[in-house]
């Protein structure tokens, strides 16, 4: 018994229907289903749920799908991009199931997402039960809905549309040929999209072709064979190009809002039109679908006085500082002691080694010395070589501006002393390093930068020379350090 026939012709540029026959009859879509499978995968990739390079582990369920299939083995891994190619070009059922499980964890959960997406696209008479399109009770669609889906695949994700025109492609395990290559090769301007066949569905095809500025999408359900189906699609394509105007403003379909992997952002809210509806009229209800918010503005904090730190927290901070200072002093003592030991082994006098040990306790200063204010009565010596003018009073000399080209970059340099998993660890490392290298880091700004991979501990506000010297001294202490330039 032949499968029921349905057909639809649409001008892709504005969505105008140019011809339809049984277009709203619910029929078996077969592998036209994979257009929705791939649409959901493209959405997931674009929104960062998964990448084309993600390695997907193949389940026993996916590997056991009947042909057409890529030949995936249970337990093996393969990149997502190869599964996408196999599903789009070869119409591989095992690849479609593997994609569904990779995105949603199970084929059932993925089918629910397919149905949510179908409703968002305006596919009002479609119900999906699986990701591959094999015949299953209740798994039905229409020629109209599949034409709408084909148009969205074309315009919503144009960066992936070239997959559907490839005559063959490498799918990881092997090179696979396109199931629609006969129509692609025979019809001028054809560049997609998807074939489908099961005994219940017959030979189905959603095709698209472009000639000049015109683009037509055709869907046929219930063909008797590949040859007769392709002939019918070509006939409807010719009809579409005859009816479509040469000049038409492009009005792309509206891309539905991203609802997230589990549609947590889609909440239905019933809003009554009146709080006190009259008895003579029925209150209207509005069904609002709220899309998931990708990003939101951060609210500004209310200006309040900063609370004083609790005494316990202040005591904790003081203890941390004391412990870090003690740790630095201990390291310096150990370093000098090691130096003394080396001197002793090298045959240096005992007095030299003992002097090195005694000086260990004095190596870590408790505070940076405060610079002495220059006396106002201090008279600077003249740099002039002219002996005749050296004794001339200051009032007789002309002011002279001396300039030079700075090669240090000013105090716009810095150093990085490591990346840490928490802000506290980074601040502790900065404090420890500052106490250990007071002479070179005095006056610098300790700064913790929160990045994608952790917290960077930086000293900023140094000259190039100071940054270079500090890094060399820290590296001599086996501390990781690199310079940060003005840029």
- Would you please indicate which residues are annotated as catalytic (active-site) residues? 31, 34, 91
- What CA–CA distances, in Å, run from 10 to 17, 94, 147, 164, 181? 4, 31, 7, 19, 22
Q: Which residue in this structure is represented by tokens 């201090």?
A: 378
First to last CA, the chain: 74
Say which DSSP state 77 is in: E
Q: What are the start-end ranges of the H helices in 53-138?
A: 60-63, 80-85, 93-104, 107-121
| Separation CA 110–CA 451 (nearest Å) | 34
| Separation CA 99–CA 102 (nearest Å) | 5
Q: Which residues contact 49 (CB under 8 A, 6 or more apart)?
A: 103, 261
| Separation CA 441–CA 448 (nearest Å) | 16
Instruction: Read off the tokens for 228.
Output: 């007769």
Q: Which residue in this structure is represented by tokens 């008479």?
A: 125
Instruction: Read off the tokens for 217.
Output: 């999408």
Strands 55-57 vs 16-21: parallel, antiparallel or unpaired = unpaired
| Separation CA 146–CA 8 (nearest Å) | 9
| Contact indicator for 78, 95 with CB cutoff of 8 Å | no
| Separation CA 9–CA 47 (nearest Å) | 32
| Separation CA 166–CA 365 (nearest Å) | 73
Say which DSSP state 395 is in: G
| Contact indicator for 111, 91 with CB cutoff of 8 Å | no
Nearest to 426 by CA among 452, 450, 460: 450
- Burial of 167 from C-beta contacts in 10 A (0-12 / 13-18 / 19+): exposed
């Amino acid at each position: 018994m032949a499968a029921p026939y349905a057909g639809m012709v649409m001008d892709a540029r504005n969505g105008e229907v140019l011809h339809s026959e049984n277009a709203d009859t619910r029929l078996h879509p077969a592998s036209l289903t994979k257009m929705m499978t791939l649409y959901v995968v493209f959405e997931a990739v674009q929104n960062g749920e998964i990448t084309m390079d993600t390695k997907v582990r193949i389940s026993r369920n996916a590997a056991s799908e009947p042909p057409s299939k890529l030949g995936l083995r249970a337990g093996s891994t393969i990149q997502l991009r190869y599964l996408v190619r196999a599903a789009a070009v070869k119409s591989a059922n095992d690849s479609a199931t593997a994609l569904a499980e990779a995105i949603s964890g199970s084929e059932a959960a993925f089918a629910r997402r397919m149905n949510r997406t179908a409703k968002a696209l305006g596919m009002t008479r479609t119900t999906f039960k699986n990701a591959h399109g094999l015949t299953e009770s209740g798994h039905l669609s229409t020629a109209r809905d599949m034409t709408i889906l084909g148009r969205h695949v074309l315009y919503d994700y144009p960066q992936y549309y070239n997959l559907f025109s490839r005559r063959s492609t490498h799918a990881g395990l092997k090179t696979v040929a396109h199931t629609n290559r006969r129509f692609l090769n025979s019809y001028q301007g054809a560049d997609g999209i998807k074939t489908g066949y099961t005994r219940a569905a017959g030979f189905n095809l959603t095709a698209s072709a472009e000639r000049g500025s015109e683009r037509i999408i055709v869907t046929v359900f219930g063909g008797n064979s590949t040859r007769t189906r392709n002939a019918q699609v070509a006939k409807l394509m010719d009809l579409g190009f005859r009816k479509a105007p040469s000049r038409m403003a492009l009005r792309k379909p509206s891309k539905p809002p991203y609802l997230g992997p589990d549609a947590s952002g889609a909440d239905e809210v019933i809003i009554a039109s009146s709080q006190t509806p009259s008895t003579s009229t029925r209150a209207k209800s509005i069904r609002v679908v709220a899309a998931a918010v990708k990003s939101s503005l951060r609210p500004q904090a209310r200006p309040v006085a900063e609370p004083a730190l609790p005494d316990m927290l202040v005591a904790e901070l003081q203890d941390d500082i004391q412990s870090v200072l003690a740790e630095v002093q201990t390291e310096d003592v150990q370093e000098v002691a090691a130096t003394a030991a080396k001197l002793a082994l090298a045959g240096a006098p005992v007095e030299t080694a003992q002097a090195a040990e005694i000086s260990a306790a004095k190596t870590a200063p408790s505070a940076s010395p405060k610079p002495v204010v220059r006396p106002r009565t201090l008279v600077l010596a003249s740099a002039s070589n002219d002996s005749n003018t050296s004794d001339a009073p200051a009032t007789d000399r002309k002011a002279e501006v001396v300039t030079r080209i700075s090669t240090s970059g000013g105090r716009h340099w810095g150093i990085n002393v490591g990346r840490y998993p928490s802000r506290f660890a980074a601040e502790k490392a900065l404090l420890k390093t500052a106490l250990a290298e007071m002479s070179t880091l005095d006056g610098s700004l300790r700064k913790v930068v929160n990045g994608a991979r952790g917290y960077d501990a930086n000293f900023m506000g140094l000259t190039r020379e100071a940054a270079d010297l500090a890094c060399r001294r820290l590296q001599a202490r086996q501390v990781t350090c690199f310079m940060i330039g003005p840029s």
